[in-house]
Amino acid sequence: MIEDAGNGSTVLSGERPTRSFTRRTFPAIMLLLFVMSSLAIAVLLNITRTQDEQARDQSLFFAQRAIDGIRTGIGRDLSDYSKWSDAYRHLHVMVDKDWAYDQENVGSSVFSLYGYQAVFVISPTGKTVYSVIDGQMSEVAADTWLTGDLRALARKASAAENRDEVIVEMLHHEDAPAFVAVSAITTGTDNSVEEIPGPPSLLLFVKVLDSAALQSLSRDFALPNAHIAHTPGPKDTAQLLLDDLTREALAWRPATPGKDLRKVLLPLLALALLFLAIMAMAVLRHALIMLRAQERQYASLPAHRKALERSEERFRDIAEVSSDWLWEVDATGTLTYLSERFEQVTGFSPTEWVGKPLHRLLHPHNGSISIAHWLLGGANSASSAPLLCEYTARNQRVRTCKLSVRAIDAGSQGFRGTATDITDELRALAQIKHLSLHDPLTGLANRNRLFDCLSEHLDQAQSTPLALLNLDMDRFKPVNDSLGHAVGDKVLKEVAHILQQNVRDTDLVARLGGDEFVIVMPNPGSASDLDQLCERLIDCMQRPMHLDGNTLYLGVSIGVAWSQPLDPRAEELLRQADIALYAAKAAGRNTWRIYEEAMGNIARDKRRYEQQLRDAMQQGQLELRYLPRFDVSAEQLHGFEAQAFWHHPERGELAGSDFIPVAEASGQLEELGTWMLINACEEATAWPNELNVSLAVSPRWFSSSFLFNQVHKALETSGLSAQRLTLEVAEGVLLTDHKTLANTLHALKALGVRINIDKFGTNIASLREVLDQPFDGIRFDRNILAQLGLEQDEEGVLAMIRLSRSVGLIVTAEGIETARQFNQLRSVACDHVQGPYFGAALARSQMASFFTTPRWL
């Protein structure tokens, strides 16, 4: 601050307090930086330690899964062989080594296919009568090749209560742990083979954890340096106990990502802190220098008062002009004045440029005119057109400004004017253009940029060959539906990053929308080069993706189309790649297909098939048939399931599974579903005894009001009681929005309609998810019943049905083919049954005769 002393001199005040304040503040700032740095280091150490612990826990989980997998696999494989009637005849009744080894029934394939190093057959007397070691027949006895209490294991497997079981225990071979699976050789479910009285022969499979097996575990389950340990290892190893008696353990060296991260980051943090301290000292020194310079400026303030008065005239001349900074040159073009705003915009002090030519600071855009000619133009006319110029600021960034000029005394005294910085305006325009050509989520090219790129290459007079890859993510929709769009967006960003890493700089990667991407490759090289790229992309996409604590497993299908020179067909090329993509999906996904003319024919046939289905609904080619469903406890007919059939003019009779997916893909499912609902309800009104009618509906209908409206319309039109209508919906419906699903279910339940979960257990639903919604029952199909071991594992079916019934759900089993299956289901109190055993689906014309002579249970 400057105060007038009354004698024309000035007195500086505030100098010492300002310096004192700076010196007091600086240590406090340094202390704060030190505390923050220490906190950052502590957080880093905690995070990296947590990473190491998580990596160790994950490797323990993988190791447990590996050992459990070996135990489960050897037991399952041995069960398939030991409960085989042919094995009973050729390995127990008599030992037929020609059948066992030469005919490859229980021979070298056990080693080559399953990796079991030894197979033994032990007779009821305890003698080894058949041996296969490493795929070669041998005369070695089991108790010689194996060490451990083999006799106790044999006695346990021969016990009557374990006759149908597989016993898996740990023995040794040459000091290496070996999983030994033992089971009695029986006829299994084949009643045609008569069993011989007496103790059974035993079949043994042996899996030795030798060096090769440990290397396989290390590779497949990410267990580096896997080995067998007998004592606790060092701290940097992890162990999983294999046997309580021998105290043997599987040991490995788990990954330490946190430790590796500390080795990298801690030195960098130390360097950063050192650099920060140096910078702080430099800032303090610069601040003190600036304070002294400011004091000198205050001291020279009176000398500048007259200069300030002279500058007021300059400001009045240009007051009407809106500007960022002001400039003035003499008649030779040398800068004589720059406003303070100049430093704020350019970073340069005005003193650095005053006295230098203007043309060294500013360069006309595109070099269309020189600064001197432009200034002369301003002197010769009342006003001159603004001039776009570029200059390099102190931060080395090129900026753009718009100059305006006025002559002083017709240019004899020089020129003055304004410089308006328009860099941000031009950058905004460039950003708008960028957004119009790029996807805002991934930053990839969008559809507009894609077509521009294709036009650039295809419309050239001498265009080069071009390959177009259409990529669609596999299993992306379940991720988006179950984890939310936020995670889905991160997945798409990661996919975009992977694609850009695997293509050349000359290639273009675009996102068309959703999870569909396109790669344009000018001069793609040979077909083998393109195959290698597709194989590499598929391999990258199949690797686990870790996002927000979730491990995601995706995949990609790729369709490829080639364009030849002078072939300007951008839309046709995209269509061909799209057709090839669908061919890749049809081939099982996670693969690629190159467009061929035959694929186009298939696509045309598909469109023709869709059109034929539209015509079928108009021309009466569709028919509903009714499959009987019986009530087990009441021993009477419960109702019918309506099933759609198509009398195709070329393919003959088609079941609903053949054409309903086509209707769903082509947008005809709602029309088909409406037709089925109305006809089934109208037919049911003619049945006696208030029988029930059931109908399978699409899970997609639960995401809108379509289903409720059509059911209400069908019931109202036909006059059918709502309690007689049951809707069967696949468990995939539980992937839809739960709130929308619940609203639709409650609305249907308010009408009185019954709703069952169909094909329960074939997808991803749990019984808890079913109970969270107002469903009435569950229907198990033949595949689930077979997987549960309907004919061998009656207790498994019993437990599932009892659990479902205990929570108030009606249980229906479909696909019953034999009386034995029906009797087993009757024994577990299944509610409803249907299938070929009770008769095929009935046409409408057959219903009357069926009711006159019904088939009861």
Supply the residues annotated as catalytic. Answer: 515
Are the C-beta atoms of 422 and 324 separated by less than 8 Å?
A: no
Residue with tokens 């060296």: 253
Query: Shortest CA distance to 299 belongs to which of 15, 76, 598, 694?
Result: 15
Query: Shortest CA distance to 121 belongs to which of 110, 160, 113, 112?
Result: 110
CA pair distance 657, 671, nearest whole angstrom? 17
Question: Quick one: tokens of 739?
Answer: 């709130």
User: Which strand (E) or helix (H) includes residue 624?
Assistant: strand 622-631
Q: Is the dihedral of CA 73, 74, 77, 83 positive or negative?
A: negative
Q: 713: which strand partners?
A: none
Give me the helix-helix angle, 819-827 and 794-806, nearest 10°. Answer: 50
CA pair distance 23, 856, nearest whole angstrom? 102
Helix or strand or coil: residue 173? strand
Q: What letter would DSSP give residue 201?
A: P
Tell me whether residue 386 is exposed, middle or buried, using C-beta atoms within 10 angstroms of its C-beta: 0 to 12, 13 to 18, 19 or more: middle
Are the C-beta atoms of 112 and 134 separated by less than 8 Å?
A: no
Residue with tokens 């009757």: 826
Distance of CA 729 to the CA centre of its chain: 26
Q: What is the CA radius of gyration of the chain?
A: 42
How does strand 692-697 pair with strand 636-648?
A: parallel
| Torsion angles phi and psi, residue 189, rounded to 5 | -95, 5
Residue with tokens 């479910």: 189
Query: Shortest CA distance to 292 belongs to which of 696, 16, 694?
Result: 16
Question: How long, in residues, is the chain?
Answer: 857
Residue with tokens 């041996």: 131
CA pair distance 386, 730, nearest whole angstrom? 71
The C-alpha torsion from 362 through 363 and 369 to 370, rounded to 10°, is 60
Q: What letter would DSSP give residue 438?
A: B
Q: What letter would DSSP give residue 92?
A: I
Distance of CA 17 to the CA centre of its chain: 63
Q: 392: which strand partners?
A: 398
CA pair distance 227, 250, nearest whole angstrom? 6
Query: Shortest CA distance to 695 belongs to which of 744, 758, 646, 618?
Result: 758
